Each structure stands twice: as structure tokens, then as C-alpha cells.
Amino acid sequence: MEVTVLNREGKDTGRKVNLSDSIFGIEPNDHAIYLDTKQFMANNRQGTHKTKERSEVKGSTKKIKRQKGTGTARFGDIKNPIFRGGGRVFGPRPRYYGFKLNKKVKSLARKSALSYKAKGNSIIVLEDFTLENPKTGEFARVGNNLNILNKKSLFVLPEQNKNIYLSSRNLQGVQVLTPSGLNTYAIMKASAVVLFESAVDALNATADN
């Protein structure tokens, strides 16, 4: 699959790059995408939710009234869950939500997501460029030239670039990643995936993974 390379002005450079069919042209596996996305979101959960149970609520342990002869239900102490301010029954406790997923499933999910974007003509190959200083306005102009400024977009760099990252972080809906950090959730969330020209080779190299 050949894609035209655009410059930062959004114009055709006259060059084309080849996107590997084993990554961008496979039959997408929806279930693999679901599992990888589920794991990514689960791993990002803090899991610090906690409510106080009966033994943790502050209050007297004295029995409120005698067991029999009152004509009403029996009660224990003021920390009884049925009372206001009492302990929570089976409340949430801190836990880890992450789970294991095979590497081949994760790889298949990532390739499936990229194939979906390729079929939808949502992949843009951009000529490599850098910024001497962090300039949000300059990076925003690039997005405007590519007609993706008001869309959720994912920029894939060949390697980490601090100036580009800092220039993009104040733009809503824009995410910058490297091939090693690319994940299915980020790909599926983006309306447009912008690949830097030299990042294409790094992605094509993962065809057998």
C-alpha cells in the first residue's frame, strides 16, 4: 500500500512510501481489539476505591436496646449498616484491575487497528520535521494544514522529540507517541493517524512481531 508523503504545509512532496500489507492491510480482528483496549483501560485504573466497613466506622459498640420485648427488630450497635453513618456492606476495596494478555494478541490488535485506519483513509504520512523551540502555534498550523486541527489526532514520531511533545500537549485531542509506545486504544480513538516518514520504517520492521 503506497501513501503520498506530505510536507508540514500539507502539500505533496512527490514522494511515496510503502506501508506493509502485513500491518496495514490485514483482515481486522475485532475481538483482539476489544481485549487489548480492555486491558489498556484496566491497567490505567487506579483501583484505590475504598469504603469503611462495620469494623472501621467510628462509634460505640454498645448494644442500642435489649434483644427482646421491644416489639421491634433487634439491633446491635450504632455501626450497624442499616443506620445512617453505619458501615458499608460489601463495599469496594483497593484492588488491581489489570490482567495478562498474550503478546501475539496485542500485536494482532495493533495491526487490526492500523488496518482499519488504512481502509478508512485515515492515515497521513508526514515529512520529518523538528522544532527548535516548543511552539504550540507552529504545531497547530501543521494540524491546520493537514485539515486535522479540530479532530482527534495521533502523531507517531520515529523517536522521542521533546519540543514536538511540548508543542502538542496544550492542543486538545492531540497525542504524540513513538512506535514502541503505540497502542490499540490510542489508534482507535484517533480520527487521523499521522506517521512521520521515518517512523514508517520502524513500523514496517515490526511486521513479523
Q: For 103-138, write each residue's pLDDT tens digit.
A: 999 999 999 999 999 999 999 999 999 899 999 999
Output the nine-digit C-alpha cell for 71: 416489639
Q: Are both 23 and 117 inside the same structural domain?
A: yes
Predicted model pTM:
0.84
Q: 33: closest CA among 101, 100, 122, 113?
A: 113
Q: How many residues does the chain have?
A: 209
Q: What's the CATH code of the domain at 177? A: 3.40.1370.10
Question: How does pLDDT run across 159-183, given as a tens digit for each residue?
Answer: 999 999 999 999 999 999 999 899 9
What is the predicted pLDDT for the residue at 79?
94
Q: Are both 120 and 160 inside the same structural domain?
A: yes
What is the predicted pLDDT for the residue at 202?
87
Handedness of CA 35, 182, 14, 208 (dihedral sign): negative
DSSP conformational letter for 19: P
Q: Are both 170 and 112 inside the same structural domain?
A: yes
Helix (H, G, I), strand (E, B) or coil at 15: strand
Q: Are both 30 and 130 inside the same structural domain?
A: yes
Q: Which of 37, 71, 91 is the last residue of a domain?
A: 91
Q: Are both 40 and 140 inside the same structural domain?
A: yes
Write down the residue that cell numbers 493517524 correspond to. Answer: 193
Residue range(s) defining the domain that contains residue 133? 2-46+98-204
Q: Are both 68 and 102 inside the same structural domain?
A: no
Q: Are both 62 and 155 inside the same structural domain?
A: no
Q: Which of 91, 122, 149 is the last residue of a domain?
A: 91
Q: 111: closest CA among 183, 200, 39, 13?
A: 183
